[in-house]
Amino acid sequence: MKKKIVFSGIQPSGKLTIGNYIGVIKQWVKMQNKYNCIFSIADLHSITTYKNNFDLNNNILDTLSLYLACGINPNKSIIFIQSHIYEHTQLSWILNCYTNYGELNRMIQFKKKIINNSKNINTGILFYPILMASDILLYNTSYVPVGLDQKQHIELCRNIANKFNNIYGNTFNIPKPCILKNGNRIMSLQETNKKMSKSDKNLNNIIYLLEKKKDVFKKIKLIKTDSKKKYKIKYNNNLGLLNILNILSGLTGKKINKFKNHFNNKIYSDFKNEASNIITIFLEKIQENYYNIRKKKSFLKDILNYGKIKAKKIAKKNLFKIIKKVGLKFKI
Ligand code: AQP
């Protein structure tokens, strides 16, 4: 039987975080053994929040190197740059015409992003989920591993696909989101009411996959706990500590309760030191792989070129069918 298709991507809008790893990359690594996986580097999405200090070319190579360092195997999975496959933007225009403005306007991410980008509220931010739907639907995707923040976008994608199928007959697979039970929303270290985001201006909220040991310790130390340092740990309402437990579980695959029991009767500073240590040891492996891979520019370019050829073949064939269905078939 033909393997089902998995599609997912990350914007090269900055340095990847442990949130990106725990929420999605970890899932990708597992899924590539069972499915045909297609992983995009979503540069078109990243220009919706373009900043002058973006170095897209380098960000793309950094992102690819981290995919590989985390365990994505280019011999098993297709990895490509979104803007290399023009079919995505072509399909995106078509799908615009099958999406209600009201549906789009309800997207939570849109509402958040226009607040964070108040000086650049471009329509790309509004149309972001339609481009995402095009990315997914173009490959007849069955599963889309994402973090919780993307759930609403996948629901929109499913609505668009159903609407299209109802009009033109069975065209698109209706993709299912794969959202982890634990680790689907790693929160910011200090401001625990929002998720950890690579573009957060407060760097103390983020642990990057390439974070240095001393900075991991520093950032975790900054998490607010009981002022009496010698007190034994109480997790109760301390979202900062619960977030760390979630991170530890996400990185190691061990249950949260196991860590809770382990830290029972310990004091806050022990908790923070041990947690920082576990995180650092995990990151060191990835960082060693990363720095080896990142040097090999022509190897990285070959992977992207190979991915482009493979993705293009599928995208071209599928877009042709869609174009015919909507009646764009005038021949000269
Ligand atoms: N904190 C997180 N916890 C769990 N999953 C996360 N993801 C992102 N942050 C977390 C998931 O990673 C995938 C790729 O995300 P993206 O970079 O394409 O877009 P994003 O969701 O907007 O991620 P960021 O880090 O917040 O990027 P910026 O700051 O550039 O907007 C998605 O599946 C996402 O759910």
> What is the spatial distance between Cα 269 and Cα 213, in angstroms, rounded to a whole number?
16
pTM (2 d.p.): 0.96
DSSP string, 45-114: HHGGG--TT--HHHHHHHHHHHHHHHT--TTTSEEEEGGG-THHHHHHHHHHTTS-HHHHHT-HHHHHHH
**Catalytic residue (one of 198, 213, 260, 310):** 198
Active site annotation includes 113: yes
Active site annotation includes 198: yes
Strand partners, 36: 5
> What is the spatial distance between Cα 97 and Cα 216, in angstroms, rounded to a whole number?
47
What pLDDT was estimated at residue 156?
98
- Nearest atom within ligand 1 for CA of residue 45: 18
Active site annotation includes 218: no
Q: Is 26 helix (H, G, I), strand (E, B) or coil?
A: helix
Tokens (6 digits) for 180:
């982890």
Q: Is 224 exposed, middle or buried (0-12, 13-18, 19+ CB in 10 A)?
A: exposed
What pLDDT was estimated at residue 331?
79
Ligand 1, CB cutoff 6 Å, lining residues: 10-11, 13-14, 17, 19-20, 22-24, 42, 146-147, 149-150, 184-186, 195-199
What pLDDT was estimated at residue 229?
58
Phi, psi of 38 (to 5 degrees): -125, 120
Which one-letter amino acid corresponds to residue 228? K
pLDDT in tens, the chain (332 residues): 789 999 999 999 989 999 999 999 999 999 999 999 999 999 999 999 877 667 899 999 999 999 999 999 999 999 999 999 999 999 999 999 999 999 999 999 999 988 888 888 999 999 999 999 999 999 999 999 999 999 999 999 999 999 999 999 999 999 999 999 999 999 999 999 999 999 899 999 999 999 999 999 999 999 988 766 567 788 777 899 999 999 999 999 999 999 999 998 889 999 999 999 999 999 999 999 999 999 999 999 999 999 999 999 999 999 999 999 999 988 78
